[in-house]
Amino acid sequence: MDECDELRNPGLPVPPAPVSPIAAVIGVVLREGDVLLVRRANPPDAGKWGFPGGKIEPGESVQAAAAREIAEETGIAARALQVLTAVDAFDRDEQGQLLTHYVLIAVLCEWKSGVPQAADDALEADWFAIGTLTSLDIAMSVNVVSVASMAAKGRTSCRSSHRP
């Protein structure tokens, strides 16, 4: 169907535009056995707890994007250490139609300074003990527990590899 068909036959359903994946980061910030989480204000996962993050700006490195998003959403200064993994986040309408597809690059980060203060598109920001994530009675984004556990193991590996 082209534009002329729509003009000749108003009311016909217009096929959905193809959705391209969008590259974004999530900053997995660790501090003494805790992980930094935010309660998201916007889709996907509005109202759920997850990692601070967002879209990578043109010309911005993955590490710089993670540090920037953490600062924007929480006021925390963090140092990006390494990429942990990538996860998909899909936002769908009530009929199941795909609206957006984010490829979230999880970046292990080290807390440098600051106290979590929700800002930008975060409703709340706080530290959570990694060992208690599975027992918390809060709505979390998919993969939060597994990515946080992976980060804790990765951080331990980083520490042990730097010991003499």
Instruction: Give the whole-angstrom CA distance, residue 152 versus residue 157.
Output: 9
- Average pLDDT of the residues of the chain: 88
Query: Does 141 score more than 80 pLDDT?
Result: yes
Instruction: Give the whole-angstrom CA distance, residue 80 versus residue 30.
Output: 11
Percentage of the chain beyond pLDDT 70 is: 85
Question: Could you list the active site residues?
Answer: 124
Please tell me the least confidently modeled range out of 12-26, 34-48, 78-92: 12-26
- Provide mean pLDDT across the span 96-116: 96
Can you give the pLDDT at residue 3?
55
- Cα 150-72-46 angle, rounded to 5 deg: 70
Higher pLDDT: 65 or 157? It is: 65
Please tell me the least confidently modeled range out of 3-17, 31-45, 119-133: 3-17
> Contact at 8 Å (CB) between 124 and 78?
no
- What is the C-alpha R_g of the chain? 19
> Contact at 8 Å (CB) between 130 and 33?
yes
Q: Which domains does the chain have, with CATH numbers?
A: 16-153 (3.90.79.10)
Q: State how beta strands 98-113 and 22-31 pair.
A: parallel
